[in-house]
Chains A and B, each alone.
Chain A
């Protein structure tokens, strides 16, 4: 017997149904129903942000090396469930060879960011020359809770490319998955769940972008918003972001990888540390 899977959402390390009790059907290219998924509400956003904020302290204080290990662990778990992801991508209407390529790229991307986890700090931090007796240095700190509106296409690779650089840098995220292709996002939550990622670090909601995106953009406890390809909606979101001076990133190359996806979601903290003199031949530093 063919049993349709029920896809739930992922909040605080648990898989609840949406508090609204609403669902919407996902269909394949021929119009056959594949599954019902949660039609999340702004209250689910609220709950997810609370979970993400709670998880932020512990996650940001883990050592960079440990975060790298955990990201690598996600890659391993994803690699082990390749077949399921390929099946889901094919069900949602892309060719087998493209699906295989997308899943392989997703694993590679995780390994890529796992490697960066304890290296981006050295690249992007600096010691600054100043005209007084101070040791002056700039170091990166994670922004906090990041709202992510995952790309609508490349539902797995796009999700991973926008979520992983955020958590690589010690942030926690609330992500609205691809509206019409959300299956991989929920399955990816199961991968996260079995990968030593603490509950609340990544929270995944499914539903209408038009409903979830404004709730993310207007939330005072979200520190940055990441999106791509939203067209007109992006302008409205940008206006909402002003309310708490939320950083607002809209990427046109959201399926790419790069150091900037990590550092965009970091704040720079500069410290002035009083000393005698630095860098001169007579300096004891």
Chain B
């Protein structure tokens, strides 16, 4: 059943204290994680990555190579996990499905006229259905930012609900594209709308717009998830995407998730990183821990 937009349930106008957010975020960055816990944290990060290629120049070969990498991150080092999923355009889902076979790496597909979302609802729905038919386990949709900024919240809500229905069993991640929403208040409101409309995950960005997943934005979205959980007991996942390219930043994000939402969210069922170059940086950190030597990208697969 498609949910209907009920402004009173969510437009309670929660305003975000920007200075407070910045202070809280700064505190997450002071946590010291060393040695064994750092190594475990890094492996957890690897296991939460949606390895992503979303470029006009993507080819089946590029996607096959990435799918191989998703399952064989760095075979020199035994005991490494796989990534959580690969993230591709709908036209590449079939290729990824074949390349991944029976592995437990999931396939996420962007849809709804990614990255701008400037298309009609019919096209967005068929875009989504195509990806699901091709075998996508997860759908990453974009919201209509133009409509959102014009105050047409019901339009945004209905669109998310319609795509959710088109997803069937696939999990839905809703991309807010926070870099275009200007304020943390808008980020919070868009998060609430997405959650109420049926999002399984909320996601910061497409990766095409700067700034992307800043910790302030991710924190604001985590708070929306927390408030929803406190009220209803329903968990919603979080995916910061874009701009997280270092291990340090990834670990700071894990600290934030743990301290805001708790241990239940520390698995790739509820938390993901959308990234293309993060995996290699994490692998280099892991090899630094095990060998004691600072690493070179020459010895890691190209991503």
Contacts and interface: CB of A to CB of B under 8 A. Distances in A.
B34 to A, nearest CB: 14
Interface stretch (A15-23, A149-157, A217-225, A251-259): A217-225
Contacts of B294: 42, 45-46, 49, 215, 218-221
A225 B81 CA distance: 36
Contact of A219 (B293, B297, B299): B293
Most chain A beta-carbon neighbours within 10 Å: one of B293, B295, B297, B298: B293
A220 B295 CA distance: 5
Contacts of A42: 294
Interface string B270-299: 000000000000000000000011111111
A260 to B, nearest CB: 26
> Secondary structure at chain B's binding surface: helix, strand, loop or mixed?
loop
Contacts of A46: 294
A243 interface: yes
A50 B292 CA distance: 17
Contact of B296 (A45, A215, A220): A220
Interface string A241-271: 0011000000000000000000000000000
Interface in A37-70: 42, 45-46, 49
Most chain B beta-carbon neighbours within 10 Å: one of A42, A46, A219, A221: A221
In the complex, which range does the number of interface residues on chain A fall in? 10 to 19
Most chain A beta-carbon neighbours within 10 Å: one of B293, B294, B295: B294
Contacts of B293: 218-220, 243
A139 B38 CA distance: 45
Nearest to B296: A221
Nearest to B294: A219
Contacts of B299: 220, 244
A217 to B, nearest CB: 10
A168 B135 CA distance: 55
B243 to A, nearest CB: 17
A220 B296 CA distance: 5
A218 B291 CA distance: 10
Nearest to A50: B294
A85 B156 CA distance: 67
A219 B291 CA distance: 11
Interface of B: 292-299
Given A218-B294, A221-B297, 19 more contacts: A42-B294, A45-B294, A46-B294, A49-B294, A215-B294, A218-B292, A219-B294, A219-B296, A220-B293, A220-B294, A220-B295, A220-B296, A220-B298, A221-B294, A221-B295, A221-B296, A221-B298, A244-B296, A244-B299
19 contacts: A42-B294, A46-B294, A218-B292, A218-B293, A218-B294, A219-B293, A219-B294, A219-B296, A220-B293, A220-B296, A220-B298, A220-B299, A221-B294, A221-B295, A221-B297, A221-B298, A243-B293, A244-B296, A244-B299
